[in-house]
Chain A
Amino acid sequence: MSAEQAITAEGIEREIAGFVAGRVNAEVPADQDLFASGLVSSMFAMELVVHLEQAFAVQILGDDLKRDNFRTVRAMTALVLRLRDAEQPADD
C-alpha cells in the first residue's frame, strides 16, 4: 500500500486488519484481543512487528515491543500513529 493511504488512522487500521485477516484466515474486529483468542503465536507477533515496520516506515524497538502494543488491531494502529508522529517532525 502507499504511504498516502496509510496516513489516516482509518487507513492504518484497515491495512493492519487486512494483514491479520490474511494471516489467520478470518475477519478480526479491531478491538479483539489477538493473544487471548489464541490467534497470535510468538512467530506471528514477530511477523506483525516486521510488517508494521515495512508498511508504515517506522522502527519498533525496545519498550515498544511490549505485548499491549500488539494486543488488538486498534492498539497497533495507535502504536503506528505515535511512532510516525515521533519520527516525522516538521517534515512534509
Chain B
Amino acid sequence: MTEPLTGARELVDESVGDRAPEWDRTGEIPEEVLRTLAARGLLCAGVPAAFGGLGATSAANGEFTAHVGSRCSSLRSVMTSQGMAAWAIQRLGGPQQHARYLPELAGGRLAAVAFSESEAGSDLSAMTTAIEPDGDTVVVRGQKVWTTAAHYADVIVVVGRYGSGAAAVVVPSSAPGVTVRRVPRPSGCRAAGHADVHLDEVRLPASAVLGGGQPLTLLVTTALAYGRISVAWGCVGILRACLDAARRHARDRRQFGAPLARHQLVGRHLANLLTAEQIATRVCEHASRSWDDGSPDMVIATVLAKQVSAVQAAQGAATAVQVLGSAAAHEGHVVERAYRDAKLMELIEGSTEICQLILADHAVSMAVS
C-alpha cells in the first residue's frame, strides 16, 4: 500500500530543525519552509488525489498534524488554515471551483479562512461582512479580525452575508481593496501569521463565490469542522512534546539524591501527562474514524475531540512547565511555547465554553438509550 505521507515527518523535522523557538520569537516562519511543504501538498493532505492532493485519510493526516504540532504549533496552525480553506472549497464549492482551486492549494499556494469580526466572534449573527452580487461580479465589504495565516496567504476564503443567507468567497490577497494587517505579538502560535483583513469594495468575478444562500451557521459549522479536528490533533502533538520533555527531565535531573521521577509528587505529574496524551489521542482517533467512515457521528465527535484535546493540552502544558521548573522558564523553550500555544487552542475554533454549549445541547437532544 502506498502511504501518501511517506517521508513527510522527516521533511518536517528537517524543515523545522531547532528553529521553532526562533520563529516564535521573531513571529515569522521563513517563506521557503511554507512553500516547500505546501508544494508537496502536506499542508492540506486531505485533498483528494483527483485534484492533485495527497488524498490522506483523516486518521493519517491527523497523526501527521500531531507530529507537526509537536515540533511547532505555529506551523501546525498554518497547516490547519490551509486544510480548512481546502475543505471549505471542497464542501461549499461546485465542480468547476474544485477543479480550479484545489490543485492550487495542493500545489503550493497558501490560504487562510476569515470568519471572525470584532463584534462577531462566537455570535455569528452579528456578522456584517457582505458579499453583494453585481452583474457577473461580486463586491466584498467587511473587516475580519484574527485571521490565522492571513499574513502568508495568497488567497483568503472570506465568509460573509449573501442574499438572505451566507456564502464564502475566494479572495486573492493581491486584489485591489484587500489590506492585511498583522496582529502584533499574539500570545500563542506567534508565527502563525494572525492578521486583520480589511475588504474595501473588493470586486471579484461571481465565479469566486462558493455556494451561496446557505444558512450562515451551517456554512460556518461545515467549514469549522476541519479546523476543529486539525486543532484537536495539534493539541495531541503539544501533549506529546510536553510528555517527552517532562519525562526526560524527570529521569535526568537529580535532587535529594534521586531522579525527580522518583519523587512521588513529580511522578504524579508524569502520570497525568501520559493520561492526558492518551485521552486526547483516543478521542481524536475516534473522531477521525468517523470522518473516514463518512459517519454522521463525525459532527459531534469532532467538537468533542477539540474540546477534550484543547483542555488536556492546556492543563498538560502547565504540568510540564511545573516539572521542568526553571529549566523551561525562558522564552522559546518547548514547554514554555506549549503553555502559551495550548491556552490559545482553548480560545479558537470555538472556545471551550462554546464547545461545552454544543455538547450540552447534544446531551439534551440525544436519543434515550
Contacts and interface: CB of A to CB of B under 8 A. Distances in A.
Interface residues of B, number: 35
B213 A47 contact: no
B299 A62 contact: no
Nearest to B365: A24
Interface string A26-57: 00000000000000011111111111011000
A50 B295 contact: yes
B160 interface: no
Contacts of A48: 296
Nearest to B90: A61
Nearest to A25: B367
B214 A61 contact: no
Given A63-B213, A66-B214, A50 B221 contact: no
Contacts of A45: 215, 217-218, 221
Contacts of A22: 367
A47 B367 contact: no
B221 A25 contact: no
B222 A46 contact: yes
B356 to A, nearest CB: 13
Nearest to A47: B296
Nearest to A54: B294
B93 interface: yes
A35 to B, nearest CB: 8
Contacts, number: 81
Interface string B217-241: 1111110010000000000000000
B1 interface: no
Nearest to A52: B296
A65 interface: yes
Contact of A65 (B222, B296, B366): B222
B367 A65 contact: no
B219 A65 contact: yes
A50 B296 contact: yes
A46 B291 CA distance: 13
Interface string B287-300: 00000011110111
Chain B binding surface SS class:
helix
Interface residues of A, number: 23
B254 interface: no
Contact of A61 (B91, B293, B294): B91
A11 B367 CA distance: 23
Contact of B92 (A23, A44, A47, A62): A62
A54 B296 CA distance: 8
A11 to B, nearest CB: 19
Contacts of A63: 94, 211-213
B297 to A, nearest CB: 8
B299 A43 contact: yes
B362 interface: yes
Contacts of B93: 61-62
A50 B225 CA distance: 12
Nearest to A35: B215
Interface string B357-369: 0100110011110
B150 interface: no
Nearest to B97: A62
Contacts of B213: 63, 66
B306 to A, nearest CB: 13
Across the A-B interface, the 9 shortest Cβ-Cβ residue pairs: A42-B217, A47-B296, A51-B296, A54-B294, A50-B296, A62-B94, A42-B221, A62-B211, A65-B214
